[in-house]
Structure formats: structure tokens, C-alpha cells
Amino acid sequence: MDDRLSSSPSDLTGVPLNSEAASAPVLKKGTLGLRHAVVISVAVMSPAASIFFNTIPQAGLVGAAIPFCFVIGFIVALLVANQYSEMSRELPSSGSAYTFVLVGLNARWGFLTGWIGLAGIAVGVPYSFILMSANVQDLVIRWFGLNVHWSIWYLIAIGIAFAICSIGIRQSLSVDLTLLAFEMGICLVLAAIIVLHVGAQGGLTAAPFTPSLVPANGNLIGGVIFAVLSFIGFETAATLGEETNNPHRNIPRAVFGSMVVVGIFYIIMAYVATIGYGIPHMATGYANDAAPFDTISRRFGGNIFAGLIDIVGIFSFFSAALAIVNGGARIIYTVGRDGLLPGWTTLTHARRSTPIGAITALCLFGLLCGLPLGFFMQPINAFGFLGTLDALFILLIYILVNVSCILFFLHQRREQFRWLRHMVIPVVSTVLMVGIFLASAISPGPAPLSYTPFVVILWVALGAGVLYLLRHKLAALTLH
């Protein structure tokens, strides 16, 4: 008999934690394939938007050594992916990290993981939409001379996302796949043009893949941290564990597959950005350019190609938002199904089997959070604030999953325990994640970024209080 978790911790305990949720329509099992799981993870990482915007402050730290940072960041991110792959192979669940920690550690830590994840998911929605809306406003002014306020585009974008996510997961992921194919395709065409042009002038060099180009007053560690943070979201495939066929095989493959696809994309685009903008100009020009890829695309492809790159940035944010809502809604649904959130979070559409209650909650939070922050801070500052906050929350979850992986295989899958995969890699990954978290929390940047560590502390403390109130329900979740 296979003792692996098939859907939720409730299946292991045999306790009907939430009878209403148990009798309600559930997520449709086996409706997705490997490609769907890969797509959702790639979309959340928003490859084009990450390379367009994360490399700007990164260039100020490491100059033309950005490609070197992404190579190191890719390796570091793969270390974390190992734990998600190993845990999802044994515990395929829409709860993802919540389920992994619940089973690997205990119900209390599982709840805190879900609580931290709830915040990370919630801020991810306005984070993706707010800068996208501001960019749409700028583009419409530039192209058509119409000044439609960013808040209007924000409302429209969330409304469209809500409709697409509500229709069905396959339909949502088809939209994501289309947008990803467009954005990554355009970027790779630009990359080919740059390589051919620079190569014809004898300008191709491997120097950006070495630390030798880091400025004398640079910060290589800071540059690597930016690269690692660009991979956040790779784990989202695990949230489709209950809807993917053969999840014990396909979810681990999707976790690593999405990481490899995006990792190669990042390295290629970081390199062409460096040689396209000019190695001597990275630390000064690129780092102070509000839209360096627009500058590069105009230089090598003209105004029309620059327009396509601008559209790519918008599509990248929108596809990420779709994937965040879909993945986040499934985590909220699972935590609610275990009786730790209000019953309405377990509501699913009777015909489409989408977690409509959680989808609605995320979109409403996106409105209630994103609009006020955008007005108060301005969209660009709100984007930085929400992005930094999201990264801190997700880094904490990575640390908890790392520890859970060690203890789970050490105590509950002893016969499968392997020292490299289940001890050495998780320990190294934990040390690196703790270091990145502390570096990000201690020096997040000027206000409003400097407020983010306090928000994280406050949210975790609030979670500890809620944990105490739910202690009796958590006792029922303890696995024997």
C-alpha cells in the first residue's frame, strides 16, 4: 500500500477536519499535464519583467558582471528546488509548502508556513499589477496621446484576471502559455540580433561571466542576491499537485524543468543586455536607465521592436499575476479545507472546479491593497515595497521547507534517505537562504523599503497569536 500523501493531510489523519469542505465540489484531479505545471512556475517568475527590472539595481552593484551573478544565482536556486522536488514527489498537494512543513515538522509550523505564505501570495497580486498598470498608462500616452490613469488600468487588469482564473485552470494556463511564448520569443529574437551585430564587430567576450568586471566599489554578494530573488516562484508548480496527472513524477519534473528553462533564459538575456548596452556603460548608464531594454531594443531593432519589448514587459507582469492568483488560490483553498481559514475559502465552482472563494479573496485584496499603496507611495515605490516584502516572506518559506525535507526523509522516509539530496543540499541551501534573508532584511533600502522587515515581524507575531487561538484545531492536524 502506498503511504504517500495523495491530496491533503486530512487523508493521513483520517479525521474529517472540515465536513462542509469535504462535501463541497473539489479540485478536478488529473486534468493537467507536465506542461501545465511547468507553465505556472515559469509564469510566476515573470522572466521578461525580472530581467528588464531586476538587472537595473543589480548593474549598480556589479556592473558588467550581471551574467556571472545569474550563473551563481541559478546554482543557488537549484539547491532550493531540490527540496521542493523531493517533497512534492512524496506529498503532491495543492497546499505546497504548507503541506510539506505540516507533514515534515508539525501542525504548528505548518500553520505558520501557511500564514506566511498567505501574506506572500496576497502581496504578489498587487505587486504584479501595479507597475504593469503604470507602464500601460505611459504607453497609451506615448502611442495614442490619451492619459488614462493607472488606477483604471489596474481595475481592468484585475477584472480580466479574475474572469480568466474563474473560468478554469486549463484555460488560465493556456493564456499564460501564449503570453510566455510571445514574451520569451521576442526577447530571444532580440538576443539573436544583438549577438549577430556585436559578433560582426568582434565584440563578443566571455568576460561578463567572470567576477573581474565587478567595479572596485561594487558588491558581488548583492548582485548574486538579486539573481537568486529573480527565481522566486519556481515552486508554484507544486500547487497543482492535486490536479496534475501522475503528480509524483510530473510535479518534481516541473519544478526543475521550469528552473532550467528560466535559468537559461536569464543567462542569455543578462549577457546580451551587457554586451548590447556596452560593458563600460553598465555601472553608470544601465544602472541609471529607467528602461534599459527599451534603449537596447531601439539601438538594435528600431522603434517598432522597442514597442514590442514594451508590450512584452506588460504581458510578463500579467501572466505572472494570473499564475500567482491560480497558485495562491489553491494554497488558500487547502489551508481552508483543513479548517484553519474561514469556510468560504474552500468554495469551488460547481461546474468548473475552480477555488472561486480563494480567487475572489485574492483579487479583492489586490484592489484593497494595491490601489491605496499606489496612490500613497506612487506605483514605482509601491512596486519596490511589495516586491521586497514578498521576497522576505518567500525566503522564510524556503527555509522552512528545507528543514522539513531533512526531517521528513530522516524520520518518515528513512529507507529513501540519501545524504546528498536530503541532508547536504538542504543544509547548504538553508545556510544560503538565511544569509540572503538577513542581508535583505538588514539593508532593504531607503523608505518605504526600510519598513518591510517590520511588516514581516508584525505579520509573524500576529500569526503566532492566531496559532494560539487555533491550538485545538491544530492538535487534530497532528500526524501520527
C-alpha cell at 276: 548590447
Q: Identify the CA nearest to 35 among candidates 342, 269, 261, 191.
A: 261
Split at pLDDT 50, 70, 90, the class of 25 is: low
Q: What is the mean pLDDT of the chain?
A: 90
Q: For 301-358, what is each residue's pLDDT tens digit?
A: 999 999 999 999 999 999 999 999 999 999 999 888 888 888 898 898 878 889 999 9
C-alpha cell at 237: 508548480
User: Secondary structure of the chain: what % helix, strand, coil (to 5)?
Assistant: 80, 0, 20
**321 is in which domain, residue-wise?**
28-477
Split at pLDDT 50, 70, 90, the class of 2 is: very low
249-252's contacts with Cβ under 8 Å and 24+ in sequence apart are 249/89, 250/33, 250/34, 250/37, 251/37, 251/85, 251/88, 251/89, 251/92, 252/84, 252/85, 252/86, 252/88, 252/89
C-alpha cell at 404: 522539513
Q: Can you tell me the mean pLDDT for 197-217?
A: 94
| 296 within a domain of the structure (yes/no) | yes
| 324 within a domain of the structure (yes/no) | yes
| 413 within a domain of the structure (yes/no) | yes
At residue 447, the pLDDT reads 84
| 272 within a domain of the structure (yes/no) | yes
Q: What percent of the chain has pLDDT over 90?
A: 76
| 4 within a domain of the structure (yes/no) | no
- Can you tell me the distance from the alpha carbon of 321 to that of 318, in angstroms, rounded to the nearest whole number? 5
**CA distances for 312 relative to 125, 200, 217, 475, 479, angstroms:** 19, 27, 34, 48, 46
Q: Are 428 and 79 in contact (CB under 8 A)?
A: yes
At residue 459, the pLDDT reads 96
DSSP secondary structure code for residue 210 in this structure:
S
| 180 within a domain of the structure (yes/no) | yes
pLDDT surpasses 60 at 11: no
At residue 61, the pLDDT reads 93
Split at pLDDT 50, 70, 90, the class of 470 is: confident
| 456 within a domain of the structure (yes/no) | yes
The letter for the amino acid at 423 is M
C-alpha cell at 377: 507611495
At residue 339, the pLDDT reads 85
At residue 17, the pLDDT reads 42
Helical ranges in 24-106 per DSSP H: 34-45, 47-53, 55-62, 66-90, 97-104
Q: Are 47 and 265 in contact (CB under 8 A)?
A: yes
pTM of the model: 0.90
Q: For 427-464, what is each residue's pLDDT tens digit?
A: 999 999 999 999 989 888 888 889 999 999 999 999 99
Identify the bridge partners of residue 244 per DSSP, sorted by sequence position.
32
C-alpha cell at 91: 506529498
pLDDT surpasses 50 at 390: yes
CATH code, 402 = 1.20.1740.10
Domain count of the chain? 1
